[in-house]
């Protein structure tokens, strides 16, 4: 069972995405922002991180950049799950190290497929 760290500052969104991923068989841990997630990664290294883009304290792309700088976390795939839907946003996210990109509101199928794809790539 793959371990997922799910990061979002909106409780309703966090709960819904958590439900999608646990129903799909993932072991899910949550964080409320990128800073909290970064602190959690060292103690409980996830197989993948699914993160919102815009959050207080540290957003998802800043989290991704920090992970990629650290040799111990650089290989953890990151999926951006965000309402940002422009091509330039997707290109920027990819340049920051994001493996997959899911547009909110997302379906369970979209999220699970993105997670599977990022883990297997």
Give Cα 111 distance to the centre of its chain.
10
Closest to 60 measured CA to CA, from 28, 3, 14, 22: 14
User: Mean pLDDT per 10-residue run, the chain (121 residues)?
Assistant: 96 97 98 96 92 93 94 95 88 88 94 95 80
- Tell me the three state secondary structure of residue 96: coil
pLDDT of 10 reads: 96
At 54 the pLDDT is 92
Query: Which residues 6+ apart lie within 8 Å of 92 measured at CB?
Result: 61
Beta bridge partners of 101: 80
CATH node for 3-120 = 3.40.50.2300
Residue 31 is inside which H or E element, if any?
Answer: strand 27-31
């Amino acid at each position: 069972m793959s371990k997922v760290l799910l990061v979002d500052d909106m409780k309703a969104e966090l709960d819904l995405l958590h439900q999608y991923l646990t129903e799909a068989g993932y072991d899910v841990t949550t964080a409320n922002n990128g800073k909290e997630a970064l602190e959690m990664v060292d103690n409980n290294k996830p197989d993948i991180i699914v993160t919102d883009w815009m959050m207080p304290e540290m957003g998802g792309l800043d989290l991704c950049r920090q992970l990629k700088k650290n040799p111990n976390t650089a290989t953890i795939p990151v999926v951006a799950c965000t309402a940002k839907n422009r091509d330039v946003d997707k290109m920027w996210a990819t340049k920051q190290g994001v493996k997959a990109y899911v547009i909110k509101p997302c379906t369970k199928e979209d999220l699970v497929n993105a997670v599977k794809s990022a883990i297997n790539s």
